[in-house]
Amino acid sequence: SALLASAWDSQSDVLATTGGLVGIIAARMGYPIADSIAAIIIAIFIFRVGIEIFKDGMFKMVDHACPQETVDQIHQVILDQEGVEGVDLLRTRKFGSRAYVDVEISADGSQSLVDAHSIAERVHHAIETSFPQVKHCMVHVNPKRK
C-alpha cells in the first residue's frame, strides 16, 4: 500500500508539474483562464488519486471473506481428510494479505476424544499447508448426527 501510494505520488507530481507548466505557458500566451483550468484539472486528479489510495487502504484494513473459489478449495481439502464426515460451517476472513479460517466439521460421534482431536489436527494442518496465506485456522469437531 505504501509502495502504491508512492507510485501515485510520483505520477501526481509529474502530471501536476506538466499541467501547471502548460497552464502558465498558455496564460502567458494570452489565455489567462488556462491557468485556472489547469489548476482545477490538477486538483481533480489529485483528489481522485487520494480516494483510490484511501479505498485501497480501507479494503486491506477491513475483514472480508476469501473469494468463493478459495472457500470451495478449502472445503474440498477438509472433506479429503480421513475421519471427516461433513463440513457443518466454514467461515473465512481476509485481513490484508492473510486469511483466517473457522471451520466446524462432523465426525463419528462414537469415537474417543483423542481420535476427534487427531482429526481436527489433520484438518488444521492440511488447511495451513495447502493455503500458505492462512495465518490461523480454528477447527471444531461436532459429533455426526444420525
Express each pLDDT in 89-103 by its tens digit.
999 998 878 899 999
The last residue of one of the domains, among 61, 83, 106, is 61
The last residue of one of the domains, among 25, 45, 61, is 61
Q: Indicate the pLDDT class of residue 104, thresholds 50, 70 and 90.
A: very high
Report how far residue 93's alpha carbon sits from residue 18's, in angstroms, rounded to the nearest whole number: 43
Query: Does residue 7 sit in the same domain as residue 72?
Result: no
Q: Which residue's C-alpha cell is 491557468?
A: 35
Phi, psi of 96, rounded to the nearest 5 degrees: 65, -130
**For position 26, what pLDDT does the model report?**
86
- Of 32 and 123, more confident: 123
Query: Does residue 87 sit in the same domain as residue 23?
Result: no
Query: Does residue 111 sit in the same domain as residue 126?
Result: yes
Structural domains in the chain (count) = 2
Q: Indicate the pLDDT class of residue 1, thresholds 50, 70 and 90.
A: low
Query: Does residue 80 sit in the same domain as residue 130?
Result: yes
Domain ranges, residue 27: 2-61
* Global confidence as pTM: 0.62
